[in-house]
Amino acid sequence: MDLFDKLKELREEGLEEIKKATDEKRLNEVRVQLVGKKGELTSILHSMKEVAPENRREVGQRVNELRDLFNAQLDETKKNIVSALIQKKLEDERVDVTLPGRKSSVGAKHPIYVILDDLEELFIAMGYQVVQGPEVETDHYVFEMMNLPKDHPARDMQATFYVDGENLLRSQTSGDQARVLEKHDFSKGPLKMVGPGKVYRRDDDDATHSHQFMQMEGLVIDKHVTMGDLKGTLELIAKHMFGQDRQTRLRPSYFPFTEPSVEMDVSCFNCDGKGCPICKYTGWIEILGAGMVHPNVLENAGVDSSVYGGFAFGVGLDRLAILKYGVDDIRDFYTNDVRFLKQFRKEEN
Amino acid sequence: MLVSYNWLKDFLDLDIDPKDLGEKITRTGVEIASVEHPQDGLKKLVVGHVLDCEDIEGTHLHLTHVNVGEEEALQIVCGAPNVAAGQLVIVALPGARVAGNHKIKKGKIRGIESLGMICGLQEIGFPDSVVPKEFADGIYVFPEDAEVKPGDDVYEALGMDDYILDFDITPNRADTLSMEGAAYEVAAIVDQKPKIEEVVLKEDGNAWTDGFEAKIDEKLAPKFYLRKLSNVKVSSSPLWMQRRLWNAGIRPINNVVDVTNYVMLLTGQPMHAYDARSFADNKLEVRLANDGEKLTLLNDKKVELDSHDIVITNGEKPVMMAGVMGGKNSEVEADTTDVILEAAIFDGTLVRKSALRHANRTEASSRFEKGVNWDNVEKAINMAALLLRNDASATIEAGLLKATDTKRPETEIEITGSYINKVLGTELSSDEIVKIFDQLNFKCASAGDKLTVTVPNRRWDISIQADLVEEVGRIYGYDNIKSTQPLLAETIGGYTEFESKIRRIKKFVEGQGMLETISYSLTSPEKAIRYTMNPKSVVEVEWPLNSSRSALRQNLITGLVDAASYNMARKEKQLNLFEQSRVYDHEGGSYNEREHLAALFAGETFDANWQHQGEAIDFYYVKGKLEELFLALGIDQDQVEYKAEVVSGMHPTRTAAIYINKEYLGLIGMIDRVVTLADKSLRGSELYVYELDLDVLSQYITKGMTAKPAPKFPSIERDLSLLVDKKISSRQIENVIKANGGKYLHDVKVIDVYEGSHIDNDAKSLAYKLVFLNEKDTLTDEVVTNSVDKITDALVEELEVKVR
């Protein structure tokens, strides 16, 4: 057999061997056997001296061609083997994407704070300072300064927890108004504040009463603040809370610390004013009380009521939350049942 | 006050739908809580004439034949005890609807055909509280003056065709607690002059005042008028008056009492009628009661009076609790012939307190406490006398005894149109404003911008300019005021610095998967200081609703534990709760409030699922949550120190007090098993909590920062395994490591803790990972090895540690 035949034979056998190799180890053996330093092609080159000199060039060329062919086939096969391996590994790693994920807990704001934070943001954007006052307040700030002297009949409307003769758990946040009014320097600009916080009343707890609840007070005082400004501001609150398409109405009302005094109703968002149990078939739902600050309140705080005036409003946050979320028992806000609270994870805040 | 639309028509020409009128009044003056039409829902109720009435043997029933205006009388079986032949009654015909949307059908009772029902007032919708006593347990019988005939609808005769507007007044608008007051109010709204008539009275009896001695304390009763009537015949009131009374929610009693109530409804002036026999000595006194004096009131309530109650006496003993209720001993009875009528103004505050103290508020007392019209006293007493002459054929003795008669001048207020416009944000002309005061029936003199308004005494709620602004605003209509936003110099809104920090904390904790809770500030005195490291003087309320809500809490954990108990009782065992609220104390004579944050964890760190088992929450998990919080707040953890402590309510060996810069910050640990064992729903649960004083923490929270580039060189880690005495804390070891680690020691982490059978009983094994980093250059092994050597030397030296 001459070298050419040998090469021909090697070519067929080599390609067959490469084809048969199914893992990397075997393929490496084949590579060493065919194109390694001591491999078959090398040995053919070594036997070149047996070739006629005129043929040596051609044999050399053939050997190189065959080496290139083997190398290409070896590389190709290796690629296929590796890729098959990866493929298998990936297949083994397959997850069932429909199985449930692993969860830790998801937090939530308390619904009353959802409402409060939302309102605070609204007012901060309009230039209001958020002010906090003490909950154990003096009779002086909660009542006397707010034009509710001792024996005022309106004090009956708010049964109060006293801790001693002069100090009490505030029954309204309006004490914050008095404190801020006393301190404010009007030469530095108008006074615009909201004062949120807890308040307490001697009511037995039931579905509609709570001895503790939250209010937010608002106060704007300057030289030119009108009832129209109050109306505009209250409408803003109502529409912000309950939607731009709500109707509102102001009703005359009475608070010792404002004159004129009004209450604001918003058209029932449940029945759109047609009448339903939520609005007690009136079509309207009361959401807050407000008015132009009573001159006595200003004067009590040392503010000249002939120069300065403005408006105040107070809104019950529990009530807003009850209305907004359709809660029918105020105690739900204070029993802290996680099945109730978890619902508010999805509420934007 | 329930205001009859039909009665209002005595004063005004009204052709407006009563419901629309109600809405108008609501927007302008007084909230109209409802507008009721009593006959709504009723059908086929007619007057019937009972032709005959026989007892049905062996039953309490009666067989009647009733003429209902048809050719043939109806046979009706009636169970009422008071049914009798000859009566005019209310008949529900077959197919009728009565109260409660109940349908009346033909039927058989005890086998006897009954074609309808003879009705009592309750059955057609009258509340029990207004049904005259004589008809309380039977059918209603029309009086002779009803002017009804068989077949007529009953609604008009009974006043059920009326519309009743419920005036839900605020305390300042007690002027509308009378028909005349309501008429003035509605008149202003519909722009009419109300027809309020004066009483013209001709006395026809003898002069009586000379022999009668009335001794009145003017401070207690600034106005006190009396009249005497004789030959009174006590019987029922005419039906027209009864109608008006029951439509106003008042039960008709007899013609004397009814007149006093009617006049109160008409004028707003509370009245009282005494049997003149009560004043046998012709003496009457108004004074404060003596402590311990007793009086039985008309409602049979026995009260013990004291020196805060005003009483009317017959010179000896009380016969009336002034302004509240009459005494049984001076009651007008069936055989009364002579009546003393009283119309007076009493001190409102004293009356209010008396009514409250004796839990006996009445129509009269609520009027006195809110105020009455001082100018209506004479009209009221004369009107009552006139009506008694008409209804009870009384003789009016000559003379109106004005025992006291303090005058109250009308209020005059000066104001300008421009001030009104400035406050309301309106542009009303002087004429428009004058017109509004005219609608209100206030006298108003104008000179250019300046207005002088004279407010009649019937509007005692008005005394200052702001009150007039309100009158103009509401009558002009709040609907007509343009909505604007305040146009003021710019102000910057925002939270206080402290409040911003609290918000930052809350936001982070919520992000850690915690549910926000709110608990009551009031708790029991014991719970108020449980879970509290250094209890302070407790704030207690004077009249608590109950003993479990009597003291202000000094910790928030107590609320969280209550919440845990509530939830666990409902099988909710995975709890991640927090609260941010205040705590309160009364230390050093002042009332102090501090902001706190507390959290409670129970259950597992991650939900167990098909893949993993749950891992119980423990001390270190909770501590990790706290460390994360400190990290997020930029607090240097080296400043924070945890010291094992014993605190009431907390697990004695799993609790630490937390200090920041040596200042007490709060505590962390497990709720004591003594607490959880005592609560059935908490039994067996491990509740972990922490509570922080945010007033302290906030001082360490920084705002603003400068960024550094990330280090360009890698760090080198070395592990250090130590055998130490059990008593030595990890913190002590860390301190030594940090003190000796040199400037490239970047971080120290505990990677293993072991106590157990493989080592000495007194020893524990701890392993640390030390991270070295030079931010400016490559760190060599040599430098690191030197540092580690220094550390180990120090550990051996200072803590007798064995390096493994």
**B706, B710, B714, B720: CA torsion to nearest 10:** 40
Handedness of CA B455, B460, B465, B471 (dihedral sign): negative
Yes or no: say if B312 and B342 are a contact pair by the CB < 8 Å rule: yes
Note whether A274 and A191 are same-domain residues: yes
Interface predicted TM-score (ipTM) of this complex, two decimals: 0.87
Q: Which of A98, A106, A110, A215 to mutate to test the interface with B (most CBs of B within 10 A)?
A: A110
Q: Choose among A131, A262, A342: nearest Cβ to B515.
A: A342
Note whether A135 and A284 are same-domain residues: yes
Q: Could you tell me if B571 lies within 8 Å of chain A, comparing CB atoms?
A: no
* Residue B23, token pair as written in the block: 């809405």
**Chain A contacts of B426, Cβ < 8 Å?**
228
- Whole-prediction pTM: 0.87
Determine the residue type at B7.
Answer: W
Determine the residue type at B522.
Answer: L
Predicted pLDDT of residue B418: 95
H helix or E strand, kind and range, residue B621: helix B619-632
Residues 500-529 of B with CB under 8 A from A: 509-522
Q: Is position A99 within any domain?
A: no
The pLDDT tens digits for B765-778 are: 999 999 999 988 88
Q: Could you tell me if B570 lies within 8 Å of chain A, comparing CB atoms?
A: yes
Q: Is position A98 within any domain?
A: no
Q: Residue A283: closest CA among chain B residues belongs to which residue?
A: B23
Q: How close, in Å, is residue A85 to chain B by CA atoms?
A: 27
* Residue B689, token pair as written in the block: 């909590």
Lowest mean pLDDT among B343-352, B522-531, B728-737: B728-737
The pLDDT tens digits for B24-68 are: 999 999 999 999 999 999 999 999 999 999 999 889 999 999 999
The pLDDT tens digits for B302-327 are: 999 999 999 999 999 999 999 999 99
DSSP per-residue codes, B16-52: S-HHHHHHHHHHHTSEEEEEE-TTTT-EEEEEEEEEE
Q: Could you tell me if B427 lies within 8 Å of chain A, comparing CB atoms?
A: no
The CATH homologous superfamily of the domain defined by B716-803: Ferrodoxin-fold anticodon-binding domain (3.30.70.380)
Q: How close, in Å, is residue B95 to chain A by CA atoms?
A: 29
The CATH homologous superfamily of the domain defined by B43-135: Nucleic acid-binding proteins (2.40.50.140)
Residue A158 confidence (pLDDT) above 60: no
State the CATH architecture for B209-405.
3-Layer(bba) Sandwich (3.50)
Measured distance CA(B306)–CA(B322) in Å, rounded: 13
* pLDDT tier for residue B136 given thresholds of 50, 70 and 90: very high
Coil/strand/helix, residue A197: strand
Note whether A129 and A62 are same-domain residues: no
Q: Which of A229, A262, A342 to mutate to test the interface with B (most CBs of B within 10 A)?
A: A229
Measured distance CA(B637)–CA(B767) in Å, rounded: 20
Predicted pLDDT of residue A153: 67
Residue B472 confidence (pLDDT) above 60: yes
Measured distance CA(B537)–CA(A159) in Å, rounded: 25
Measured distance CA(B438)–CA(A288) in Å, rounded: 31
Residue A10 confidence (pLDDT) above 80: yes
What's the domain count of chain A? 2
Q: Is position A103 within any domain?
A: no
Domain closes at, from A36, A60, A92: A92
Q: Is position A42 within any domain?
A: yes
What is the CATH code for B497-700? Answer: 3.30.930.10
Note whether A65 and A126 are same-domain residues: no
- Fold matches, B2-37+163-190 and B411-480: yes
Note whether A165 and A203 are same-domain residues: yes
Note whether A222 and A307 are same-domain residues: yes
Predicted pLDDT of residue B638: 86
Measured distance CA(B298)–CA(B301) in Å, rounded: 7
Predicted pLDDT of residue A97: 92
- Please report, for the domain that includes residue A238, its CATH number: 3.30.930.10
Predicted pLDDT of residue A156: 58
Lowest mean pLDDT among A180-184, A219-223, B432-436, B699-703: B699-703
Q: How close, in Å, is residue B115 to chain A by CA atoms?
A: 37
Predicted pLDDT of residue B2: 96
**Selected residue with higher pLDDT from A53 and B379:** B379
Structural domain of A51: 3-92
* pLDDT tier for residue B348 given thresholds of 50, 70 and 90: very high
Q: Is position A211 within any domain?
A: yes
**Chain B contacts of A120, Cβ < 8 Å?**
495
What is the CATH code for B411-480? Answer: 3.30.56.10
- Cβ contacts below 8 Å, chain A against chain B, sum to 253
DSSP per-residue codes, B141-173: B--GGG---TT-BSTTTTTTTS-EEEEE--GGG
Measured distance CA(B652)–CA(A221) in Å, rounded: 55
Instruction: Give the class (CATH, top level) of B2-37+163-190.
Output: alpha beta
Residue B679 confidence (pLDDT) above 90: yes
Lowest mean pLDDT among A145-149, A335-339, B467-471, B648-652: A145-149
Q: How close, in Å, is residue A120 to chain B by CA atoms?
A: 9
Please answer yes or no on whether B479 and A249 come within 8 Å at the CB atom. Answer: yes
B787 contacts: CB under 8 Å, gap ≥ 6: B740, B741, B742, B744, B745, B772
Q: Could you tell me if B577 lies within 8 Å of chain A, comparing CB atoms?
A: yes
H helix or E strand, kind and range, residue A142: helix A139-142
Note whether A75 and A122 are same-domain residues: no
Q: How far is CA A54 from CA A45, A49, A57, A60, B666, in A?
A: 15, 11, 7, 11, 99
Note whether A259 and A316 are same-domain residues: yes
**A269, A271, A277, A283: CA torsion to nearest 10:** 80
Domain closes at, from A57, A92, A127: A92
Q: Could you tell me if B29 lies within 8 Å of chain A, comparing CB atoms?
A: yes
The pLDDT tens digits for B211-235 are: 999 999 999 999 999 999 999 999 9
The pLDDT tens digits for A144-157 are: 999 988 877 667 55
Please answer yes or no on whether A250 and B490 come within 8 Å at the CB atom. Answer: no
CB count, 10 Å around CB of B57?
A: 6
**Chain B contacts of A161, Cβ < 8 Å?**
522, 541-544
Residue A349 confidence (pLDDT) above 70: no
Note whether A115 and A236 are same-domain residues: yes
Half-sphere exposure at residue B667, Cβ-oriented, CA atoms within 13 angstroms? 27
pLDDT mean across residues, chain A: 90
pLDDT mean across residues, chain B: 94
Q: Is position A322 within any domain?
A: yes
Yes or no: say if B130 and B76 are a contact pair by the CB < 8 Å rule: no
Note whether A69 and A129 are same-domain residues: no
Please answer yes or no on whether B493 and A233 come within 8 Å at the CB atom. Answer: no
The domain locations on chain B are 2-37+163-190, 43-135, 209-405, 411-480, 497-700, 716-803
Predicted pLDDT of residue B295: 96
* Residue B599, token pair as written in the block: 């959290």
Please answer yes or no on whether A231 and B574 come within 8 Å at the CB atom. Answer: no
Note whether A88 and A133 are same-domain residues: no
